[in-house]
Chains A and B, each alone.
Chain A
Amino acid sequence: MNEKIMLSTIAHGRSGDKGNHANIAVIAYTPDGFDWLRANLTADVVAGYFAPMQPSRVERFEATNVLALNFMLHDILAGGASRSLRIDTQGKTLALTLLSMPIDIPNGLERMTRQLPV
């Protein structure tokens, strides 16, 4: 079995709500990490990961200027802020859930981890 690390080793992020949809920004720490995200963290991968929560579709946008991918997970909030019966009605924690995703150790990991000072 391949050794795994968490996505959070090479990226940070934040999530929030738009009605019944949630967005998750995944931000690479370095340009090499961004290249890895672009190639590997596809909309399909994110949709598959969150499949148990039944998003109707997942869109991916790129913000190259800030080394970030932004995912829109449609209809994932079971009704959204007012209507959802879940504890996380607004998807506030979804970014941390995605950042906890196990990934294969990328080649050149040392060029993708957080470099201090930020």
Chain B
Amino acid sequence: MSTLRIGNACGFWGDSIDAPIRLAERGRLDYLTLEYLAELTMSILALQKQRNPEAGYAGDFLDVLERLTSILTKQPDLKIITNAGGMNPLSCARKAKAILDKAGLIKKIAVVSGDDLLPQLDTLLKLHPLTNLDTGADLASIRQRVVSANAYLGAQPIAEALASGASIVITGRVADASLTVGPAAYAFGWDWSDWDRLCGASVAGHLIECGAQVCGGLWCNWRDVQDYSDIGYPYTDIADDGSFTITSDAGPGVNRETLIEQLLYEVGDPARYLTPDVVADFTSVSLEHVNTRTMRMQSAKGKPATDTYKVSIAYRDGYSASGTLVIAGPDAVAKAKRAGAALLQRIGCMFDCSNIECLGAGACAPGVVTAPANPPEVVLRVAVHDSQKAKVERFAKEFAPLVTSGPPGVTGYTTGRPAVREVFAYWPALIAKSAVQSRVEMLS
């Protein structure tokens, strides 16, 4: 085998459900990866599982799989790797098997788990403090409010699943780039201390993990995108030496600008990008233009992986709601500010936190961007947060009356009462790898 082709057609839960079909049809892939889990997705899935022991995974994946069955019939060697399992990869895998059975497809499905630390959290806490990486606070302070705690597993259990003959690998929380590193390490038989190769595959995985963002999505030079309707999703062709290309066969393709914008997306120190598999040095990679759709990257240098996994913990942190109204006509900004302030005064109680914004007047970077002198309309947005649900519910009920009892020029109240949502705060921590046991099970 010269190169291994891995395409990613899902960058988050909610991404296009057509993209996996289009990419699989176009891309002649060896592997299709689908990434569903943002930092806080696990807390939502954890609550779903509490209510229903069969739930707690990214249901979109099953819709996608159902639509992929005809392609899997035509491309019997195509393998799928996804973290759609979320908090319940086994249940997700069983549902996936039912879909494949119905389509007459016989595929080995593997389940990767062990990332969920909640069942043994108190035992773990005796030896591992799970100190907040940002604040240094002790987890004990919020232990009773924790709803999920998941380690970001690496590529090894994915490679193990593939070595066991799996065609579909469904995982819980796994580092995004590891969805790509797993099949590459398995296919080429890389050693788990071959840091440079692991680094190359990790960079490739990082570049494709957000789907269209590497091939035209969010590109600053958006006028150069001729057609956003078929933006294209990326694939990587990885070679045994860890060098790779990134390509998109649709939309504007991959170029130097789209590639670099994504290379540094959600990155801290680019010379030390930590994954469970390797410490990747993004500054070591050289770039080369291949053609209008493809960029090549090589000479990646990795450093030994750390001895810890990152742990993403979510805990209950009160309630919040936000509502919006359009305020138009002369002095729109001033009217919006008055209306927002009046709303909070009418409710007559102090919230733990509240925020009045005038969208259209620089709200995305408050205080940094100068508002236009007199916009024809702005969107008033008021948001509150409080530990007491009743107070937030009161806010939600008081929002609509502004339509008739505030300044003139109010419209756009069509979405109903603001929804009160439970807030889950994010608690990043580290744990010794030796304290976490990943598991690979084959679904029979």
Contacts and interface: CB of A to CB of B under 8 A. Distances in A.
Interface residues of A, number: 49
A66 B266 contact: no
Nearest to A64: B283
A63 interface: yes
B359 to A, nearest CB: 6
Given A23-B268, A27-B260, A85-B383, A65 B365 contact: no
Nearest to B213: A14
B257 A27 contact: yes
Contact of A83 (B261, B266, B425): B425
Contacts of B39: 19, 81-82
B257 A118 contact: yes
A72 B268 contact: yes
B357 A82 contact: no
A97 B292 CA distance: 29
Contacts of A97: 364-365, 368-369
B270 A63 contact: yes
Given A27-B257, A66-B287, A18 B266 contact: yes
A83 B381 contact: no
A103 to B, nearest CB: 15
Given A53-B366, A63-B283, A86 B355 contact: yes
A99 interface: yes
Nearest to B283: A63
Nearest to B282: A63
A16 B266 contact: yes
Most buried by A among B264, B292, B368: B264
A118 B267 CA distance: 23
B285 interface: yes
Contacts of B282: 63
A117 B384 CA distance: 48
Given A17-B266, A80-B426, A86 B363 contact: yes
A52 B270 CA distance: 27
Contact of A86 (B284, B357, B369, B423): B357
B83 interface: no
B140 interface: no
Interface string A1-44: 00000001000111011111101010100000000000000000
B178 interface: no
Contacts of A51: 367
Given A63-B270, A63-B282, A25 B364 contact: no
A30 B262 CA distance: 18
Contacts of B363: 86-88
A67 B327 CA distance: 43
B425 to A, nearest CB: 5
Interface residues of B, number: 56
A82 B270 contact: no
A68 B264 contact: yes
B398 interface: no
Interface in B102-137: 134
Given A63-B282, A70-B270, A83-B425, A12 B368 contact: no
Given A50-B365, A83-B423, A87-B363, A118 B286 contact: no
Contact of B269 (A61, A65, A78, A114): A61
Nearest to A12: B220
B261 A12 contact: yes
B364 A63 contact: no
Contacts of B292: 117
Contact of A27 (B255, B264, B266, B366): B264
B284 A20 contact: no
A19 B134 contact: yes
B294 interface: no
A65 B220 contact: no
Contacts of A53: 365-368
Contacts of B15: none
Contacts of B270: 61, 63, 68, 70
A118 B441 CA distance: 47
Contact of A81 (B40, B265, B268, B367): B40
Contact of A13 (B220, B269, B428): B220
A112 interface: no
Contact of A66 (B134, B221, B263, B365): B263
5 contacts: A14-B265, A18-B268, A93-B365, A97-B369, A118-B256
Interface of A: 8, 12-14, 16-21, 23, 25, 27, 49-53, 59, 61-68, 70, 72, 78-83, 85-88, 93-97, 99-100, 114, 117-118
Interface of B: 38-40, 43, 134, 218, 220-221, 224, 255-257, 260-271, 282-287, 292, 314, 317, 320, 322, 353-355, 357, 359, 363-369, 381, 383-385, 423-426, 428
